[in-house]
Amino acid sequence: MYPSKHKEIVTSLMSGKFITIDDSTFNVLKENKEFYLEFFDKSFGFDLKNTQEFYYLISDETNENTSRDISIFFSILCYELDKDGENFMDKLGFSDFHIDEIVEYISNSTWADVVKVNNQLKDADSIKKLVGSTMVKRNITRKHSDGKYSFTKAYRLFIDFARELIKTETNEAEK
Amino acid sequence: MHFLANHFDLLRQLFDIQVKNEVILKSQVNETLNEFESDVEGQLFEHKVLVEQNDDYVINEPYFVLFEFVLQQFKPLLPEEIEKYGQSIRTLSLNIKEGINNDKNILLDRIEALSNEIKKFKNAVTNNTISLLNESRELKANTRRIEYQEKVQKARYLIEYYIIPLNTILDLNHSQSIYNELLAISQFSNNKRFDYFDESIRRQFEKLYNLLKQVVKDISHQSTILSNELLPLLDRIKTESEYLQGFIYYLTNMNCYKEIKPPMLFNTTRDNPYSPYIYENTKEYFEQFKNEEDVFITEESTDIEQWIFNKSEYKSKLNSMLPVTDFFSWCKKALENEKADFDIDSYFIVTSLIFEVEYDIQRDRDNQSISLKTDHGEFIMPKLKINQRKNVSK
């Protein structure tokens, strides 16, 4: 017998979605982790990854451009939030953002050179599409009423990645 | 005190200037007086609130300490400055123990001196904790909007030079901590307040013991603030700084577009309008129709020639042949002459001539029968002779 919500879990993960701790399927996935690890590996050759807060699939083929754009997006947003005196960890974890607010942080960023050459960040419409479509589809952002968005715990993947860069750099320098 | 109360805002501004710049420039004194529209310059020097230092001014030490206390804005003391109290406490404590049976007066003075040093130590620790907590919170919220690099530097500086050493001083588990020294003195004075032979000395030990009871409690509280609030706060600043360093590294020099690989992200084909198998799939789809033969649907012709029985024609044919010995066979032949593949219905219509009144029908004398084979079966019929009836009125 398959676990409950099996179809929903498989469909979500196969469409590139993150299943986060706030999703109803998270606990089913957690309780049946071994089953799903084997299921995705044996059925499709995909690797099911997880942290304490989210699950996601990876395969040999990665969507590098989208991942890079999202990583740049979070790096800039966090940097600007910090500069603005905000606690970016708390803000990303617990606050809603109006899309105009997000656009403003990115568009007025000091990292203009990085922004202007990026097709997903270069203007307001592109940023709105990245946040409101690409990231919603992957369950990285959630859309609320009145043009507001919040971030799911999946944002941690992209900021932890940046933090790891420094650790890797330090380790390599020490070697 | 009256002067201080009346001009508190002005004095506070001068205090803030000194906290920020170490000294107060002459021009800053004038600017502040003008801002508050005040003419108390003379009184500032008269009451010795301001004293000259080289060409500039500073707030006189006792007033400065008072403002620090009133405003709860203490410049954090370096651990070395706090540690000096530890040294004097240790020395006095040792001297008291060693000279416990010597001169009474020096013993009293030493106990009093020890109490004073303990009070100073306690104040230094309390003030330091408050100021470090304020600085850390301020740094955390970045109220001064300082640049990231400066913030990280400041956080590291606070942790390295102030907070970790202060934690060591207060650490219960650290054998050399002043906190442990105080506990030892407390235990010693607790014993001596009961078993010392001189009453005045016993009273001094009693006072020292009571003071230590409070001080140990206060220091323990400061230590709790340090471990529960200050260290996690700074730890968080440290964590955030690691993230920020990561972001900066990723974005600097366009590194994000160079060799750094972003996190693996599942590649979905559902959204891809051009599937890698589109050619094969399309080919397969069309190939299923490739070898199919053309089919022409022709409707069955409904234009069947309708056979109409021409009775008079057949009658005249029959009449010309009379007498006919085998009526049914004649009918077959007559019909075959007109239509080779006649159907059985047409045949029976032709045979209806038998019922015409002008004919006389006679059965064959030998009772012979004839057979007619058709697609539908074999008809066995009597052999009938047909002739013209003689008495028929015309």
pLDDT tens digits along A134-151: 999 999 999 998 999 999
The whole model's pTM is what? 0.54
Q: What is the model's pLDDT at position B61?
A: 80
Higher pLDDT, B153 or A165: A165
Q: What is the model's pLDDT at position A99?
A: 96
| Cβ within 8 Å, pair A161-B142 | no
The 10s digit of each residue's pLDDT in A66-79 is: 999 999 999 999 99
Give chain B's mean pLDDT.
79
> Six-digit token pair at B250?
């990723």
A61 to chain B: closest CA residue = B267
A137 to chain B: closest CA residue = B271
| Cβ within 8 Å, pair A62-B266 | yes
- CA separation for the pair B158, B211 (Å, rounded): 30
| Cβ within 8 Å, pair A85-B141 | yes
A-chain CB neighbours of B260 within 8 Å are 165
> Six-digit token pair at B200?
């005045």
User: Closest approach of chain A CAs to the CA of B174, in angstroms?
Assistant: 31
Q: In this prediction, what percent of chain B has a pLDDT beyond 90? A: 2
Nearest to B247 among A62, A78, A138 (CB): A78
Q: What is the model's pLDDT at position A12?
A: 93
Mutation for B interface: A17, A50, A63, most B CBs within 10 A:
A63
| Cβ within 8 Å, pair B262-A169 | no
User: Closest approach of chain B CAs to the CA of A86, in angstroms?
Assistant: 7
Judged by a CB distance cut-off of 8 A, whether residue B360 touches chain A is no
Size of interface A-B (CB pairs under 8 A): 121
Judged by a CB distance cut-off of 8 A, whether residue B264 touches chain A is yes
Indicate if the pLDDT at residue B236 is higher than 80: no
Sheet holding A148-151, edge to edge: A96-98, A148-151, A141-143
Interface of B with A in 127-146 (CB under 8 A): 140-143, 145
Confidence of residue B337 (pLDDT cuts 50, 70, 90): confident
A-chain CB neighbours of B271 within 8 Å are 137
Indicate if the pLDDT at residue B271 is higher than 50: no
- CB under 8 Å to B94, separation ≥6 — which residues? none
Q: Are A73 and B130 in contact (CB under 8 A)?
A: no
The ipTM, to two decimals, is 0.92
Q: Name the phi and psi angles at B34, rounded to 5.
A: -65, -40
| Cβ within 8 Å, pair B261-A64 | yes
Q: What is the model's pLDDT at position B298?
A: 66
Nearest to A82 among B239, B244, B250 (CB): B244
B254 to chain A: closest CA residue = A114
Mutation for B interface: A61, A114, A130, A170, most B CBs within 10 A:
A114
